[in-house]
């Protein structure tokens, strides 16, 4: 699967976002080593801090289905800037794969890519 194809899945997943407060839909598509892809969207809550980001939604779906070997994640947000994973999502992703390829897109579909270790160096872990 190409980066563009993974990103298309992320953009489609954003269509399911529950965003009555921010009105900012985000979609993620997380690819596993065996080629399985789990998508996610942001799910907001009236208690704002309980909001779940699209990336963590995808991670939780994957782990709960027995997948922890992640190789790539694509993130799409309807923004002018590239929709980079927030700090919490970087930490959660780093739990499973420091070598993850992170693809971040903006509303017009253009994207950039980084290794996760560049986005979160010296990550916390036991």
Q: If we measure between CA atoms, which residue out of 15, 114, 42, 124 comes closest to residue 73?
A: 114
Stretch that binds ligand THU, among 65-73, 83-91, 95-103, 109-117 (CB under 6 A): 83-91
- The verdict on 39 binding ligand THU (CB under 6 A) reads no
**Of the candidates 39, 42, 94, 97, which one interacts with ligand THU according to CB under 6 A?**
42
For position 116 contacting ligand THU by CB under 6 A, the verdict is no
> Tell me, what DSSP letter sits at residue 18?
B
114 Rama class: left (phi>0) / alpha (psi -120 to 50) / beta: beta
Answer yes or no whether residue 45 interacts with ligand THU by CB under 6 A: no
């Amino acid at each position: 699967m190409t980066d563009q194809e993974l990103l298309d899945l992320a953009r489609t997943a954003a269509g399911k976002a529950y965003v009555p407060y921010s009105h900012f839909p985000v979609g993620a598509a997380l690819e596993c080593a065996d080629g399985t892809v789990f998508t996610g969207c942001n799910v907001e809550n009236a208690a704002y801090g309980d909001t779940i980001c699209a990336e963590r939604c995808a991670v939780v779906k994957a782990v709960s289905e027995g997948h922890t070997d992640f190789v790539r994640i694509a993130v799409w947000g309807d923004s002018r800037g590239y929709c980079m994973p927030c700090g919490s999502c970087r930490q959660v992703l780093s739990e499973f794969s420091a070598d993850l390829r992170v693809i971040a897109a903006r509303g017009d579909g253009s994207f950039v890519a980084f290794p996760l270790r560049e986005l979160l160096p010296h990550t916390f872990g036991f």
